[in-house]
Chain A
Amino acid sequence: MKNGTLKQILLITDGCSNQGEDPVAMAALAKEQGITVNVIGVLDRFDTEGGRGLQEVEGIASAGGGISQIVQTRQLAETVQMVTKQAMTQTIKGVIDQKLNDILGESETVEDLPPEKRGRVMEVVDELGETVDLDVCILVDTSASMKNKLPTVREALTDLSMSLASRTGANQFCLYLFPGKRKSTQKVITWTPHLENIEQAFSKIGSHGVTPTGPAIKEALKSFNELAKTNWLDQDEAYDDGPR
C-alpha cells in the first residue's frame, strides 16, 4: 500500500429521508464498493421526530462502515473535520486489523497487541492517514428546515478543505445538494482539490419539503465511478504501479 486512496461520502442532514431508495441500503451498497459513509446530523429537528431521525443517521453510518455524529449547528466545522479524519483512521486501522488477522489468526486487532507494539502500529496508521489520497463526496440536505443552517454548512466545508489541505496526501471533493431543483439530487461542484468560493454553489438551490437521502447516496456512488474512470484513463498513460 504505497499510496492508496480512501473514498468517503459525507452526508450532512437534519432529519429523516422521505423519498426514494432506503438510504441505509444505499450506504451498505457504498460500503461494498469500498466507500465509507459518514453522517453528520445537525440538531434541532431530531427532537421532534421521536428519535427516528437519530436512528436513521446511526443506521446509515453503521451500514456504510463510517462514523455518525449529532451536532449543534455552531459546532459543525470542528465536527466535520474530526469525523472525516477519524473515519480515515478507522478505515486504515480496519485494513491493518485485517492483516493482523491474516497473520496471527483469530480476531486480533491493533488493540489486542501489547501496549508497546500498539504504539508503533498506531504511528504507522497516523503516517498512512497523512499520506493517503482522499476523495470525499459531500451530500448536503437542503430541504426547507436546513435553509438557515446553510451558511454554517458552507463555512464548515471550506474549513474541512483547509484542514485536509494541511495533510501531505492529495484530496478531491465534490458537492451535491438534495433535493435539487428538478432532480432529486443536484451536482453543484465536480471533483476538485479545494473547496473555496462555494457561496455560489449554494445560491442555486430551491427548498422543497422532501428529503431524498437514498437517491443522493446513489448519485454519490455514480460520481465515484466516474472519477474511477477518469483516473483509470490517466493512469493508463503512466503505467508503472499497475491498476489496483
Chain B
Amino acid sequence: MMTGRDEISIPPGTIVSGKWHGRRYQMIRRLGSGTQGTVYLVKAGNKKVAMKIAKNRGSLISEVNVLKRTGELQGQPLGPSLFDNDDWIVNNQIFSFCVMEYLDGVPLSEALRNKPFDWAVIYVIQLLSVLGRLHRAGYIFGDLKPENIILLSPGHTVRCLDFGGATRIGRSVREYTTFYDRGYWGYGTRKAEPSYDLFACTMMMIYAAEGRTFEKNGNREKQLVQIVRTNDKLARYRSILEKGLAGRYALAEEMRRDMLQKATEQESAPVLRRSHTSRSAVSRTGSERNGWFGAIVTASVIMAAYVLFVMVYIM
C-alpha cells in the first residue's frame, strides 16, 4: 500500500506548533484536499494564512522548493508566498506542513462555468504572463488546469495554486492531468518545456469554449483541430490555438501577445454581421452559441484588454 495516511480531522481551535521554527498557528477550518495533502485556513497571530499538511512526510518537499524559488522572483507573485515549513508532532505522530499566503477567491474552474467566454480569454492572457515569468525562472507549471488556478476576489487577477507539478525545464513532467496533457493527445513528449504549459493553456481555451472536457477518439490530432476549426467561440483565435497545440510557440509571451492582439481587434461588427448573412456557411446546429456576444461584452473585453496593455507597458 502507498505509505499515505488517511486524512486526519483537526478540530477548529487546535494549536499547531512547529518543531523547528517554533511558530504557532490556530486552526480555523479545512479548505480542501488533494493528492499531496490537506489545506487548512489557520490564524498566525491575527493574520489568516493557508496551511498545507502533507499526506506523506516527503510529499510537500518539492512543492516547497518551487514556492521558495518563485517567492524570490521580483514583481507580481506567481503563486502564494511561502511563510513557513515545519513539522508538527502530535500524539507521537509527525506531520510535515507548510504555511503560505491565503489566496481568497474562486478557482478558475468555477469562474469559467459562470462567466462568458470572453473572460476565459482574459484569464488565459493573464495566466500567460504568469507562466512566462515562471518559465524564465527555469520551471514549467506542469499540471496546469482550471482547478489549479485561483481568481483572486478583488481585482480579477489569476494566481497559480498547487505547485506540486512544477518541474525544472528539461526534466520529465512531474504531474499532469490527461485532458491538458499533450502526451495524451499525441502532440509531443512529457518533457518539461514551455510549450508543454502552452499546450495546456490551449486546452483551457478549448475547455472553456466547449464547456466540458472529453476523451480522445480514434484520430487524436484531428479531433482537437476539428474543434478549434468548428467552434464559433474559438474562431477568432484559431491560428493561435493551432500553433499552441502543435507546440509552435516557444515562449508564453509570444502566445500572449498574439492573444492580446486578437482579443482587441475591432472585429465586433463582422462577428455580428456574420451571424446574419453567412450563417449557413459558418455554423449548422447550435447557431445561437454566439448570441450573447453582444456589443456590451465586446466592449468590456476591449476595455479589459486595454487595461492589460497599459499594464504590460508599465511593467
* CA distance in complex: A55, B304 (Å): 57
CB distance from B268 to the nearest CB of A (A): 42
A49 touches B (CB below 8 Å): no
CB distance from A176 to the nearest CB of B (A): 24
B213 touches A (CB below 8 Å): no
User: Quick one: closest A residue to B66, CB to CB?
Assistant: A119
CB distance from B195 to the nearest CB of A (A): 13
Contact (Cβ within 8 A) B173 A166: yes
CB distance from A214 to the nearest CB of B (A): 20
Contact of A77 among B1, B96, B172, B178 (CB under 8 A): B178
Given A115-B87, A122-B62, A126-B62, A62:B184 Cβ within 8 A: no
* CA distance in complex: A52, B1 (Å): 14
User: Quick one: closest A residue to B84, CB to CB?
Assistant: A115
A159 touches B (CB below 8 Å): yes
Interface residues in B1-19 (C-beta closer than 8 Å to A): 1-2
CB distance from B152 to the nearest CB of A (A): 27
Given A58-B1, A67-B2, A159-B184, A122:B65 Cβ within 8 A: yes
Residue of B1, B170, B173 with most chain A CB atoms under a 10 A cut-off:
B1
Q: Across the interface, which residues of A come within 8 angstroms of B1, CB to CB? A: 58, 61-62, 68
* CA distance in complex: A122, B183 (Å): 26
* CA distance in complex: A116, B61 (Å): 9
Contact (Cβ within 8 A) B61 A118: yes
Interface residues in A160-178 (C-beta closer than 8 Å to B): 162-168
A123 touches B (CB below 8 Å): yes
B64 touches A (CB below 8 Å): yes
A130 touches B (CB below 8 Å): yes
Given A62-B1, A130-B172, A162:B57 Cβ within 8 A: no
Interface residues in A55-99 (C-beta closer than 8 Å to B): 58, 61-62, 67-69, 77-78, 86, 93
Contact (Cβ within 8 A) B96 A111: yes
- B44-70 CB mask vs A (1 if < 8 Å, else 0) is 000000000000011001101100100
A114 touches B (CB below 8 Å): yes
Contact of B2 among A69, A77, A93, A119 (CB under 8 A): A69
Q: Across the interface, which residues of B come within 8 angstroms of A166, CB to CB? A: 171-173, 189-192
CB distance from A225 to the nearest CB of B (A): 29
| Chain B: interface size category | 20 to 34
Q: Across the interface, which residues of A come within 8 angstroms of B173, CB to CB? A: 166
- B183-199 CB mask vs A (1 if < 8 Å, else 0) is 11000011110000000
Contact (Cβ within 8 A) B58 A111: yes
B214 touches A (CB below 8 Å): no
A221 touches B (CB below 8 Å): no
CB distance from A92 to the nearest CB of B (A): 11
User: Quick one: closest A residue to B56, CB to CB?
Assistant: A111
- B75-100 CB mask vs A (1 if < 8 Å, else 0) is 00000000001110000001010000
CB distance from B183 to the nearest CB of A (A): 5
* CA distance in complex: A93, B59 (Å): 12
A110 touches B (CB below 8 Å): yes
Residue of B2, B170, B172 with most chain A CB atoms under a 10 A cut-off:
B172
Q: Which 8 A-B pairs have the closest CB atoms?
A: A166-B172, A122-B61, A111-B57, A166-B190, A166-B191, A115-B85, A167-B172, A166-B189
A selection of 14 A-B contacts at a CB cut-off of 8 Å is A58-B1, A61-B1, A67-B2, A69-B2, A93-B58, A111-B58, A111-B94, A111-B96, A115-B96, A122-B61, A130-B171, A159-B183, A164-B172, A166-B171
